[in-house]
Chain A
Amino acid sequence: MFAFIISRILQALPVLLSVALISFAMFAYVGDPVAIMLGQDYTQAQRDALVADLGLDKPFWVQFATFIGNAVQGEFGLSYRLSRPVADLIAERAPATLELAFTAAILALAVGVPMGVYTGLYRHSWLSRFFLTFSLIGVSLPTFLIGILLILVFAVSLGWLPSFGRGDTVRLGWWTTGFLTWSGVKALVLPAITLGLFQLTLIMRLVRAEMMEVLRTDYIKFARARGLPNRAVHFGHALKNTMVPVITIVGLQLGAIIAFAIVTETVFQWPGMGLLFIQSVGAADIPVMSAYLLLIALVFVTINLIVDLLYYAVDPRLRIGRGKGGH
């Protein structure tokens, strides 16, 4: 077990390093932070001094090594745009993104699983067809379009829900939460639906497919033959067996949710990390962008590691050696 964890962590390191290289290379030459910082009037000497101070005149690999050295200590320097420590900026925005991603994931699960079970059980019912069509439309609609349409209907036309921001938040230590105020909860509704819709349809289709597979298996037929009531068969046996892949996928999709939060946060002006990232791209704010990408890579690698460990715990075959590839 221990050796397995160690080997996985060792495998994750090159991934993080290459993401670091990419994020650094990606932004080292985009935009011109010097021009932004100097404003309208400056002399060549002022410009050279700033370039030297920022270390932009050093060779690429020296800049990269400095970057890695600082990143390991959680030190990403000051944002070019806001002149504040990048770590602080990200820490301030992380709760907003995490609360949104969490709500979207819960929403996707709470609605997606029952819909999947229903459509799996009653494949030809009228409602199943409706759900399936709905899910296809959900998959085919781009996130940004969903967000814009929701704002148009529920914020502007009906005036029921706010169209932007987080509403009032409550501070709990360094964490800020929107769950504890009415306006915070209201503000969460539209962005969470926008962000969760794709995952919802994905989960629904996944549960449906798994249910249909499981319902064909011998032991379900056997359970039916034993005369167990439908309810017990469906929920006690079938659903339980579909849950392992569903949990795995949802875990892996958490990364996708955080990534798609960039789009959702842009549409709803949600003050999270994704919005920070996009605003930083516009201002060529290199420190913030690199830190964000590294952080996201770290999140993904961690999620992947946890999923691997869960598999290891659940599937005894893996302990003997990787018999069956893929999953």
Chain B
Amino acid sequence: MAAAVKRFFDSDLWFSFTRSPVTVVSAIVAAVCILGAVFAPWIAPHNPFDLASLNLSDAFKPPAWTEEGAREYALGTDDQGRDVLSAIMYGARVSLLVGVSATVFATLLGVSLGLLAGYVGGALDSLLMRICDIQLTFPSILVALLVDGVVRAALPREVHAEIALFVVIFAIGISEWPKFARTVRGSTLVERNKEYVQAARVIGVSRARIMVSHVLPNVLGPVLVVATLNLGLAILSEATLSFLGVGVPPTQPSLGTLIRIGNDFLFSGEWWITIFPGIALIMMVLSVNLLGDWLRDALNPKLR
């Protein structure tokens, strides 16, 4: 692993990173979003989940720099008197958690199935690719809606509320695995016929070992690109589901939930309740997408 890190800093990748100001900025923005979200319980000015600390008479305070704003609430407060900045930090935590978990889930599933399909081939390959084909024709948001609906229907309300977060992660993850499987399978097909794999096979290395230690490292580059680009999509999917009211439970509001709630106040002049979470969401997704774009270009030598 240490060798890999060293290789990373010596690589063209790092060089091209330092050369692109847009990428550096987006990396910084992404880092700020992620740190703010991860450490929200320690650095957020208020705890929006501590009900006893809420005061209805603090509701609808505009941002601090406006005339009626209070210094205590930098980005204002919402309809229940919650601090918008803290709500965003906690909300970003949920959004990131869902986005990252869903992407990790999709990656693990897609990579294993893709490796299997590419390396084993035959009937298994056709079956898996056929499932991919079918699922890719359905937009992931619809698949996520369906999966979420099925689970919602199958479980009693109380049980569902407990595991709702996992349901959303599962729904988004399951809707995106085929992209990974496709990518990995393609690369595996190429790698499988290369001489070093042939050689390993000749000296009697087991199939599983060849797959994991020879083929896998060589297909990880493209997977990283797909995963990064996918993270942005996963975060947006979660926001859309939450906006339609079927996403994460309202007790754990994500950025999408905050936007949906704030949307009711947009026309009445209390714009900060929806605009700031919206900006946070866009910044997060945009920076992740920019990083993914750069990564794709950097890893694809043809385009350089």
Contact = CB atoms under 8 A, between A and B. Distances in A.
Let me know if chains A and B touch directly in the complex, using CB atoms closer than 8 Å. yes
Interface of A: 11, 15, 22-23, 25-30, 136-137, 139-145, 148, 152, 156, 212-213, 216, 252, 255-256, 259-260, 262-263, 266, 278, 293, 296-297, 300-301, 303-304, 325-326
5 contacts: A137-B282, A140-B236, A140-B289, A142-B240, A252-B136
The 7 closest A-B pairs by CB, nearest first: A256-B139, A140-B285, A140-B286, A259-B139, A259-B142, A26-B149, A304-B137
Interface string B254-271: 001001000100110000
Contact of A145 (B125, B134, B137, B259): B259
Contact of B129 (A22, A25, A262, A326): A326
Nearest to B278: A145
A29 B256 CA distance: 27
B303 interface: yes
Interface of B: 125, 129-130, 133-134, 136-139, 141-142, 146, 149-150, 152-154, 182, 185-186, 189, 232, 236, 239-240, 243-244, 256, 259, 263, 266-267, 278, 281-282, 285-286, 289-290, 293, 302-303
A260 B232 contact: no
Given A22-B150, A325-B129, A139 B289 contact: yes
A142 B239 contact: yes
Contact of A144 (B136, B138, B186, B243): B243
Contacts of B282: 137, 140-141, 145
B185 A296 contact: no
A262 B244 contact: yes
Q: SS class of chain A's interface: helix, strand, loop or mixed?
A: helix
A287 to B, nearest CB: 15
Given A27-B153, A139-B289, A148 B240 contact: no
A69 B146 CA distance: 22
Nearest to A277: B145
Contact of B267 (A156, A260, A278, A296): A156
Nearest to A129: B22
A29 B153 contact: yes
Nearest to A12: B134
B286 A325 contact: no
Contacts of B136: 252
Nearest to B302: A216
A128 B57 CA distance: 50
A263 B242 CA distance: 12
A144 B240 CA distance: 8
Contact of A137 (B150, B182, B278, B286): B286
A197 to B, nearest CB: 13
A121 B89 CA distance: 42
A144 B242 CA distance: 11
Given A30-B152, A259-B141, A266 B244 contact: yes
B232 A140 contact: yes
Contacts of B278: 145
A259 B141 CA distance: 8
A22 B146 contact: yes
A15 to B, nearest CB: 6
B138 A255 contact: yes
B130 A148 contact: no
A293 B153 CA distance: 15
A142 B244 CA distance: 12
Given A142-B281, A216-B302, A256-B139, 7 more contacts: A25-B154, A136-B286, A260-B139, A293-B146, A300-B138, A304-B137, A326-B182
B185 A326 contact: yes
A156 B267 CA distance: 9
Contacts of B154: 25, 29
